[in-house]
Chain A
Amino acid sequence: MFSKGLEYIPNVLADINLADFGRKEIIMAEKEMPGLMSLRKKYGETKPLKGARVAGCLHMTIQTAVLIETLIELGAEVQWSSCNIFSTQDHAAAAIAKAGIPVYAWKGETDEEYIWCIEQTIIFPDNKPLNMILDDGGDLTNLVHEKYTHLLPGIKGISEETTTGVHNLFKMMREGKLKVPSFNVNDSVTKSKFDNLYGCRESLTDGIKRATDIMLAGKTCVVAGYGDVGKGSAQSLRAFGARVLITEIDPINALQAACEGYQVTTMEDAIKQGASIFVTTTGCRDIITGDHFNTMRDDSIVCNIGHFDIEIDVKWLDENCVEKVNIKPQVDRYLLKSGNHVILLAEGRLVNLGCAMGHPSFVMSNSFTNQVLAQIELWTKPGQYAIGVHFLPKKLDEEVASLHLEHLGVKLTKLTAVQSEYLGLPADGPYKPEHYRY
């Protein structure tokens, strides 16, 4: 049934000797991931994921290692690959491999190796196929739907981490191609309003600074897109004292940006205004193109924190530059025909993962607690969720948040019985209607 007829390969990673370092960082991260750790406490005994064979495709970082070990603590078997060729933290992969968990990921895969890694996670030891998918970006979901269709009936559910993957799920649904009940983890409030916003708020500028050591104060920066990622990115750049311009296609987001005091303009105009740092957050394509590069100031810094590497036309740079000088890993300086330079970070892929350490553990604990709850819902309640794309129930979203409050010393106010009756809300939630936007 396994079309490649390959021997089972237990893991492939960069350097197993990094395992001890990885383990030390995992222990540190566990303290900052209270949501996941309390799930271990709550479900460690009952093991609700027993029998689940979860194939995961999500940045193989220290935080993901805590997620993986939580799934295992809850009874699942897990095999892992990374959803970005540059995002693996090799010491995290090493620690996971040393713990005996199959992992196929290293920093700096080729595109072919990337697919190979994902394929290795599909079949578990003893030739048993996956029965759950935990995905980030949709590549694993698509691969299984296109190449391993015979395994689809056995798959109980998909939980999808990010916007791009959710778009892909909706597209598959529209085209009648989706064959598995799916959870949109991305649009849990405790995911997108935290990970995308507060995560990027810390890791974008971390990436730019690690890569270039540039002073942000006084610079004119452009943030393309004012969604959650754009909001966090813009706020972070502004906090350093940069002047931030926004580009938007959606009038609502554009108005939001304007009301926050950002100038909203087009990319062409932003370049005319002398912007020297460009950040794309759109999830769309062709945001920064050859014409833009040609008119930018010398040594402009260009990076992407959206999903794919097509927001910035890297291909144009490679084909039209006079010279490409690699300054250090993930930092390239292109000389253009005009004599100007462009500094490209992380080859146009996610700059916070390529040039920094991704999101901090605490914010990832929010996203990943959603992931685990989604996996539990899908695995323990087969048949309850039809084939389609679902949100986590509001109550679970609130639970994710409440699991993180104690760590921050938050004191929550309780509704009194009278207040509860006045508002017509149960005293212990859910407190908001589904359409509430936070």
Chain B
Amino acid sequence: MSLTTLQDAKPTVQLVETESAPGGHQLVNPYRTNKVDKMDLVTMAEEIQKADSFVHANVSNKLQVIAEQVRFLQEQARKVLQEAKDNADLHHVACNMVKKPGSLYHLYQRPSGQRYFSMLSPKEWGASCPHEYLGTYRLEADRSWTPADKLEEKAIDQQMINKILTCSNTLSITMDEKQ
């Protein structure tokens, strides 16, 4: 039975099958013996319905957490793929020099539409800046690109990572942080 049918269907009370001669002893009047009070049946049905909704609520709660995790993982996967795409895109932008990790490069677009990396920032170009400026990026040691506006964020992340790397175990930093 699926979860939704469990919730929606009118619960029918299922009683244990009757036996007119239990253990070989013939009952005198099985009908009488097995007669059920209507109200009892209603109570039992209500119980079942209540139980069903509890089960459903419980499952929903648990699945909710998983659904959130799935959404988060999906989002992360999407971000990773997007970053990979952006990085690859920047690596294939026209460039005359051999790029060195740790350096800032400035992206421009020529009137032809060609994008290229320049060593010069718009400030260095000054008024003679020949082409449209699209942004500044730093090439990282892992050959990924960090946009200029994310440099600070990246530095903070790196500080935290360095802290983890320099601690003998991660437990001690969590304890340090609590103090």
Contact = CB atoms under 8 A, between A and B. Distances in A.
A15 B100 contact: yes
B128 A110 contact: no
A329 interface: yes
A112 B130 contact: yes
A116 B96 contact: no
Interface stretch (B59-67, B119-127, B146-154, B164-172): B119-127
B95 interface: yes
Residue in A15, A86, A109, A112 with the greatest tally of chain B CB atoms within 10 Å: A112
Main secondary structure of the interface of B (DSSP, over half): loop
Contacts of B116: 110
B79 interface: no
Contact of B119 (A4, A5, A106, A329): A106
B100 A107 contact: no
A107 B128 contact: no
Contacts of A329: 98
A108 interface: yes
B53 to A, nearest CB: 67
A113 B120 contact: yes
A402 B140 CA distance: 52
Contacts, number: 46
A108 B103 CA distance: 15
A15 B103 contact: yes
A1 to B, nearest CB: 15
Contacts of B125: 116
B96 A110 contact: yes
B96 A109 contact: yes
A113 B103 contact: no
Band of interface residues on A: 10 to 19
Given A12-B120, A110-B118, A113-B120, A4 B96 contact: no
A423 interface: no
Interface in A1-48: 4-6, 9, 12, 14-15
Contacts of A103: none
A6 B126 contact: yes
A86 B95 CA distance: 12
Contact of B131 (A4, A15, A85, A112): A112
Contacts of B97: 14, 106-109
A117 to B, nearest CB: 9
A113 B119 contact: yes
Residue in A5, A86, A116, A119 with the greatest tally of chain B CB atoms within 10 Å: A116
A91 to B, nearest CB: 12
A168 B103 CA distance: 38
A252 to B, nearest CB: 40
A79 B34 CA distance: 111
A119 B97 CA distance: 20
Contacts of A113: 118-120
A12 B119 contact: yes
Contacts of A109: 96-97, 119
Contacts of A106: 97, 119
A9 B100 CA distance: 21
Interface of B: 95-98, 100, 103, 116, 118-120, 124-128, 130-131
5 contacts: A4-B128, A108-B97, A110-B118, A112-B118, A112-B131
